[in-house]
Amino acid sequence: MASDLSDRTEDYLRSIHRIVSEKGFARIKDVSHDLDVKPSSAVEMVRKLSDLGLVRYEKYGGITLTGQGTEIAEVIEKRHETFRKFLSIILVPEKIAADDAHILEHRLHPETILQFTRFVEFVTTTREHPRFLARWWEEFKQFCDRQKTGPVR
């Protein structure tokens, strides 16, 4: 079902998941503030998510995710984190990495996402060749420092 959802719908699920993780529930004002949308737009989308069985929502009350909504939101969050980590590994500045991860999480083929996930997991969790990875990391940083010519346009 996650592939059937629009990018914006996925953004709402991820936002609600993040807010619920912090507070135990979300309110329309929390979601609209987090996504920088009007409260009326947030209400409309939350109703849609409720109709899809992904959230529980009562007018003027809290918003929580259903089991299915939580599962989908966690997949979306993992995709986002994978791309954010990858971009961090290749030394993209944190703010840019967060913004670009958001774009990538919606645009790439599932097989490509899987390979990014495998790469990030390998680089961040491998214990078989820690000296190799540490050396690779240092060599890459030095390479980037030598190549400082400004952003590619």
Write out pLDDT tens, residues 8-39. Answer: 999 999 999 999 999 988 999 999 999 999 99
Q: What is the pLDDT of residue 151?
A: 62
In a domain, 151, yes or no: no
**In CATH, what number is assigned to the domain containing residue 48?**
1.10.10.10
| Same domain as 67, residue 6 | yes
| Same domain as 61, residue 6 | yes
As a whole number of angstroms, the distance between CA 115 and CA 102 comes to 17
| Same domain as 79, residue 31 | no
Tell me the pLDDT of the chain averaged across its residues.
90
In a domain, 153, yes or no: no
* Residue 139, token pair as written in the block: 């060599």
Domain span at residue 24 reads 2-72
| Same domain as 104, residue 49 | no
Q: How many CA atoms lie within 13 A of 122 on its CB side?
A: 9
Q: What's the pTM value of the predicted model, to 2 decimals?
A: 0.82
Q: Quick: pLDDT tens for 54-82.
A: 999 988 889 999 999 999 999 999 999 99
**In CATH, what number is assigned to the domain containing residue 110?**
1.10.60
| Same domain as 97, residue 50 | no
Fill in the amino acid letter for 106: H
Residue 114 has pLDDT above 70, yes or no: yes
* Residue 17, token pair as written in the block: 């998941």
Q: How confident is the model over 115-136, as a mean pLDDT?
A: 84
Best CA proximity match to 10, nearest among 94, 117, 103: 103
Which of 53, 72, 91 delimits the end of a domain?
Answer: 72
| Same domain as 141, residue 81 | yes
User: Where residue 85 falls among pLDDT bands split at 50, 70, 90?
Assistant: very high
Residue 133 has pLDDT above 90, yes or no: no
Place of tokens 């971009």: 87
| Same domain as 142, residue 79 | yes
| Same domain as 83, residue 59 | no
